[in-house]
């Protein structure tokens, strides 16, 4: 596939680019990055059971003639060639998903819906960049009949390059907002970069576009100019796919939707308006690839949130029981507002409060502080009474909102303080940039809730310190 030179035949069960993920029988691709060189981890990959490795340079401790090595000029390009072949050989209907928020959740839900019909391959985690997309494609088996791939970006042109590999039959844009704006002149430029997904669509491909944001018409114009069929989706306005009736609850939403003229009544197993939007995009895409809307509805009813993306936990302490919403996987203005709205739906009991544990959002450029301050309205609107704030920008926004603010400097100390401060009936939501490490805070709170002894609060200090 990639013109490599190899001394012996071998068979691989999988493809990995991180030696820590290698399982016996995998092919290891040694990529050279800005900060890491995969060639330095060759010994680790073989120790974990790799059958062979793609390399582009000599490696200390390995003879160039080692029969486990496949020599190529460029390992990343070799991975892309493998991805191209995997896409060519499988008779799949492919859906590509991009957007400023909701990409990963939409991909996972699409997989759950489509695999009820036939073999479905999808991106895992957030494998959506210049390495993750070809890696996800290269792993697709020839037995796959549906493929769902997440397409992210850090700069203009990245989606165009990866869409050329994926070649989707359906392209979904979930939303456009202020994410990664440090790399773009303005949000309009972000919209233009997202619209690159339409360029790689099949000639009879379908563009599924959420209309509930300021740049929707811009996306529609690009798709139509490229000759693509457009299906519009809206939660609040007129569109090809829209709710006819809807009832929101704290743990689900029940609705009847019009899907391009077909009424369908279903339940979404997750709360929040953003999941209504995701479900409509999912139904539109499944109809476009010839999937089964009935199976899709069943899958939506059985949805479970991924860790860090809205999963709910109950924290039972000796002195209090509280609801924890784990939305700790990254943040931008769009996803932050969605998480705050979801917190507003969470029930509180007795003297319980709605509490947000928030960290500064990143990669927002010169307008970062003003984007944080724009959350003030949301804090007030959604009834957030107490905010544990990591970082100066979130702290300033919380103070402007007039909330009870706790300035935080360490994960360990905040876990201990949250455990001490928690009241019976509280609802907590955790969200912030990945660099803040709030996933560890969630782990600490869950551990605290698993300690049933009366001395649990005191013991938690030790657990938090160990984190």
| Verdict on whether the full-model pTM lies above 0.85 | no
How far is the C-alpha of 352 from the C-alpha of 348, rounded, in Å?
5
Which string of DSSP letters, residue by residue, matches 250-309? SS-EEEEEEETTEEEEEEESS-SHHHHHHHHHHHHHHHHTT--HHHHHHHHHT--PPTTT
Residues 189 and 283 in one domain: yes
* CATH number (domain holding residue 325): 3.90.190.20
Which pLDDT tens digit goes with each residue over 326-353?
999 888 888 899 899 999 988 898 889 9
Residues 6+ apart with CB under 8 A from 85: 1
φ, ψ (nearest 5 deg) of residue 356:
-115, 130
Q: Which domain holds residue 357?
A: 311-466
Query: Which of the listed residues 301, 322, 356 is the one where a domain comes to its end?
Result: 301
Query: Which of the listed residues 24, 43, 75 is the one where a domain comes to its end?
Result: 75
Asked whether residue 83 is domain-assigned, the answer is: no
* CATH number (domain holding residue 259): 3.40.1190.10
Residues 357 and 406 in one domain: yes
Give 3-state DSSP helix, strand, coil % of the chain, rounded to 5: 40, 20, 40
Closest alpha carbon to 165 in 120, 125, 123, 114: 123
Residues 357 and 269 in one domain: no
How far is the C-alpha of 103 from the C-alpha of 174, rounded, in Å?
7
Where does the pLDDT of residue 467 fall: very low under 50, low under 70, confident under 90, or very high at 90 and above?
A: very low
Residues 227 and 320 in one domain: no
Residues 459 and 327 in one domain: yes
Asked whether residue 454 is domain-assigned, the answer is: yes
* CATH number (domain holding residue 19): 3.40.1390.10
Residues 57 and 97 in one domain: no
Asked whether residue 421 is domain-assigned, the answer is: yes
CA 78 → CA 27, 28, 53, 148, distances in Å?
A: 12, 12, 12, 22
- For residue 244, pLDDT over 70 is answered with yes
192 within 8 A of 174, measured Cβ to Cβ: no
Asked whether residue 85 is domain-assigned, the answer is: no
Residues 276 and 130 in one domain: yes
Strand order from edge to edge, sheet including 146-150: 120-122, 146-150, 93-98, 170-173, 206-210, 229-233, 241-248, 253-259, 262-268
Residues 70 and 163 in one domain: no
Residues 169 and 62 in one domain: no
Asked whether residue 429 is domain-assigned, the answer is: yes
Where does the pLDDT of residue 181 fall: very low under 50, low under 70, confident under 90, or very high at 90 and above?
A: low
Closest alpha carbon to 147 in 115, 103, 125: 115
Query: Which of the listed residues 264, 283, 301 is the one where a domain comes to its end?
Result: 301
Where does the pLDDT of residue 35 fall: very low under 50, low under 70, confident under 90, or very high at 90 and above?
A: confident
Please compute the mean of the pLDDT values over residues 296-305 and round it to a whole number: 91
Helix (H) or strand (E) holding 85: helix 75-89
Report how far Cα 35 is from the mean position of its chain's Cα atoms: 24
b/e sequence 196-228, b meaning 16+ C-beta within 10 Å = bbbebbeeebbbbbbbbbebbebbbebbeeeeb
Which pLDDT tens digit goes with each residue over 43-83?
999 999 999 999 999 988 898 888 899 999 999 999 999 99
Asked whether residue 359 is domain-assigned, the answer is: yes
Residues 131 and 94 in one domain: yes
Helix (H) or strand (E) holding 219: helix 216-225
* Domain total of the chain: 3
- For residue 441, pLDDT over 80 is answered with yes
Residue-level pLDDT at 456: 41
**First-last CA distance in the chain:** 45
Residue-level pLDDT at 124: 87
Residue-level pLDDT at 180: 56
Residues 293 and 351 in one domain: no
Helix (H) or strand (E) holding 81: helix 75-89
Kindly tell me the burial class for residue 369, based on how many C-beta atoms sit within 10 Å of its own C-beta (0-12, 13-18, 19 or more). Answer: middle
223 within 8 A of 213, measured Cβ to Cβ: no
Report how far Cα 214 is from the mean position of its chain's Cα atoms: 22
Asked whether residue 4 is domain-assigned, the answer is: no
Asked whether residue 84 is domain-assigned, the answer is: no
Residues 226 and 206 in one domain: yes
């Amino acid at each position: 596939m990639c013109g490599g030179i190899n001394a012996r035949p071998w068979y691989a069960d999988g493809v990995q680019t991180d030696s820590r993920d290698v399982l016996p029988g995998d092919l290891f691709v040694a990529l050279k990055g800005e900060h890491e060189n995969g060639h330095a981890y060759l010994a680790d990959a073989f120790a974990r059971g790799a059958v062979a490795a793609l390399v582009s340079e000599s490696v200390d401790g390995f003879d160039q003639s080692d029969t486990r090595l496949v020599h190529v000029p460029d390992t990343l390009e070799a991975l892309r060639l493998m991805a191209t072949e995997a896409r060519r050989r499988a008779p799949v209907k492919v859906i590509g998903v991009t957007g400023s928020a909701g990409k990963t959740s939409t991909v996972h839900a699409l997989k759950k819906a489509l695999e009820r019909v036939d073999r479905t391959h999808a991106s895992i985690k957030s494998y959506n960049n210049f390495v993750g997309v070809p890696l996800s494609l290269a792993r697709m088996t020839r037995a796959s009949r549906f493929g769902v791939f997440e397409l992210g970006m850090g700069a203009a042109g990245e989606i165009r390059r990866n869409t050329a590999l994926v070649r989707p039959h359906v392209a979904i844009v979930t939303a456009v907002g202020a994410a990664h704006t440090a790399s773009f002149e303005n949000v309009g430029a972000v919209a233009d970069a997202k619209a690159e997904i339409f360029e790689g669509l099949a000639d009879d491909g379908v563009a599924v576009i959420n209309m509930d944001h300021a740049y929707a018409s811009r996306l529609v114009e690009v798709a139509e100019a490229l000759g693509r069929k457009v299906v519009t989706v809206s939660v609040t306005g007129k569109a090809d796919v829209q709710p006819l009736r809807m009832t929101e609850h704290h743990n689900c939403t029940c609705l009847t939707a019009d899907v391009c003229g077909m009424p369908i009544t279903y339940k979404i197993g997750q709360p929040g308006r953003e999941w209504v939007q995701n479900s409509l995009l999912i139904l539109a895409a499944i109809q476009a690839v010839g999937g089964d809307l009935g199976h899709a509805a069943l899958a939506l009813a059985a949805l479970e949130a991924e860790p860090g993306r809205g999963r709910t936990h109950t924290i039972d302490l000796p002195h209090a029981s509280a609801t924890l919403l784990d939305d700790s996987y990254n943040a931008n203005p769009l996803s932050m507002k969605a998480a705050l709205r979801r917190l507003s739906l969470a029930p509180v009991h007795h003297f319980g409060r709605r509490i947000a544990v928030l960290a500064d959002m990143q990669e927002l450029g010169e307008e970062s502080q003003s984007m944080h301050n724009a959350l003030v309205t949301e804090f007030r609107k959604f009834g957030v009474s107490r905010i544990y704030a990591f970082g100066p920008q979130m702290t300033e926004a919380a103070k402007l909102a007039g909330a009870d603010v706790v300035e935080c400097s360490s994960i360990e100390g905040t876990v201990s303080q949250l455990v001490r401060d928690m009241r019976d009936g509280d609802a907590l939501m955790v969200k912030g940039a990945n660099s803040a490490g709030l996933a560890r805070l969630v782990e600490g709170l869950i551990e605290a809730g698993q300690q049933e002894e009366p001395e649990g609060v005191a013991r938690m200090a030790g657990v938090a310190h160990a984190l």
